[in-house]
Amino acid sequence: MAGDPNILSDFILPANQSVVDGSFFTFTGMRVLIGAPEPTSFKVLKASLAEFPALNGQSVATAVLLFPADAVNPPHTHPRSAELLYLVFGSLQVGFVDTTNKLYTQTLQAGDMFVFPKGLVHFQYNIDSKNSAVAVSAFGSANAGTVSVPNSVFTTGIDDNILAKSFKTDVATIQAIKAGLALKP
């Protein structure tokens, strides 16, 4: 079972910390969003266990997703949590695939929320070719994990012949996909 363990105290301090005050429970990493210019590439700002140690044992995390026009958050999964996405502004096409390979999609407008069930492959796409979009995601785990489908398939060293056979294509096509992923920031 993958998930956050139950804790037997109010909160958990890091091993190297014995004194705590209000600043331990404060995350300031999202301040960079205030007055920031519109995004030029897809970007995620996270407040998960890695960035915010006070979340240890609390079974929560959040992320802000910044979508420039026509940007995509590629298919991915969160193996340890569902994701609840709230669209602050803009429009997004979102979707997930269930375990029977059925695709569920929706076009969201500002103020809409959408839930991606735990562990299922999902995506978000800014369908607007001129305007950016911003969404806030909430997770029921301090460490939801993210497994990018393109990266896990094409950048982890799986043999090109295996990928070509799996995708019913040729090695040259697989190598072209890999080269395209290598160019991305």
Q: Report the amino acid identity of residue 49.
A: L
Q: Which residue has the tokens 């029977």?
A: 100
Instruction: Tell me the CA distances in angstroms from 28 to 22, 33, 99, 169, one per residue in order.
Output: 12, 10, 38, 47
Please tell me the distance from the alpha carbon of residue 17 to that of residue 24, in angstroms, as a whole number: 10
Integer Cα distance of 150 and 93 in angstroms: 19
131 is in an annotated binding site: no
Query: Is 16 within any annotated ligand binding site?
Result: no
Token pair for 58 = 């609390």
Q: Tell whether residue 38 is among the known ligand binding residues.
A: no
76 annotated as ligand-binding: yes
Measured between alpha carbons, how far is 84 from 114 in angstroms, rounded to an integer?
6
Binding residues for oxalate, by number, are: 73, 78, 83
Binding residues for Mn(2+), by number, are: 76, 78, 83, 122
Binding residues, by number, are: 73, 76, 78, 83, 122
